Chains A and B, each alone.
Chain A
Amino acid sequence: DGGITQSPKYLFRKEGQNVTLSCEQNLNHDAMYWYRQDPGQGLRLIYYSQIVNDFQKGDIAEGYSVSREKKESFPLTVTSAQKNPTAFYLCASSKLAGGTDTQYFGPGTRLTVL
C-alpha cells in the first residue's frame, strides 16, 4: 500500500537534546512538508521541499533543520534551539509543489520534552 509513514509515534526528549523525526513516502511524490500542531490549534508550516537536495523554510523554521537526500525521505531534526518543542508533528507530501495539488498526511509523531 502506498502512503506516508512517520516514526516513532511517540518521542520523549530531555531538554538540550537534539532529536530526529522520520518521514518516508512511497507515493513517488516530489514535494514533502513538515507541520507542527499544538493542542486545539491548526497547522503551521515548518519546512518544505520541492525536490531532492532542496528545501525552504516555512513560517516557523527557527530551531528546526531538515534534509532531503532521497526522494522518499524528509527527516526533521528538532534542535536544542527550539524553545518549546512539545507538539504533534505531521509530515505530508504532494505529487508536485505549488499549483492546486492534494497533500497527503502521515500519522504524526507526538514529541514531549521532559
Chain B
Amino acid sequence: GNSVTQMEGPVTLSEEAFLTINCTYTATGYPSLFWYVQYPGEGLQLLLKATKADDKGSNKGFEATYRKETTSFHLEKGSVQVSDSAVYFCALNFNKFYFGSGTKLNVKP
C-alpha cells in the first residue's frame, strides 16, 4: 500500500541553523510528493511539490528532491528563521492523498 513516514518532532533549532526534516514514502506507482506547512490555528499551506523522480521543489528557501531510489523527499532549508516555526507535513498523492503525521519545528532566536 501507500504511506508516508516522517521524522517525529519536535525539532528545536536556533535561528540561522540548517534544517532537515526526513520523509520517506512507500507507493505502488509514481506519486506526486508534497510538503505542507501549518501555522498555529490555521489550515495547511502548500510549501512545495515535485511530480517526478529527480524533480526538486523549492519555495521560500525550502527545498526537497524527489529521490526514487531511496523513496525519500527530505525537506531542507539552509538558514531557518523564527517565523519558520510551524508544523510541517509530508504527503503523497497517487489516486488518493496520504499524509505523514507532521513534524513540529521550533526556532529559537
Contacts and interface: CB of A to CB of B under 8 A. Distances in A.
Interface of A: 4, 6, 33, 41-43, 45, 90, 92, 98-108, 110
B34 interface: yes
B32 A43 contact: no
Contacts of A110: 41
Given A105-B44, A106-B43, A107-B42, A100 B51 contact: yes
A100 to B, nearest CB: 4
A99 B93 contact: yes
Contacts of B49: 102
B95 interface: yes
Contact of B99 (A42, A102, A108): A42
Interface string B82-97: 0000000100011111
Given A42-B102, A43-B99, A100 B31 contact: yes
Interface string B12-23: 000000000000
A74 to B, nearest CB: 15
Q: Which of A33, A43, A98, A107 has the most CB of B within 10 A?
A: A43
Interface string B29-68: 0111010100001111110010100000000000000000
B24 interface: no
A98 B99 contact: no
Contacts of B41: 108, 110
A41 B44 contact: no
A98 B96 contact: yes
A102 B46 contact: yes
A107 B51 contact: no
A110 to B, nearest CB: 7
A85 to B, nearest CB: 18
A48 to B, nearest CB: 9
Contacts of B46: 102, 104
Contacts of A106: 43
Contacts of B32: 100-102
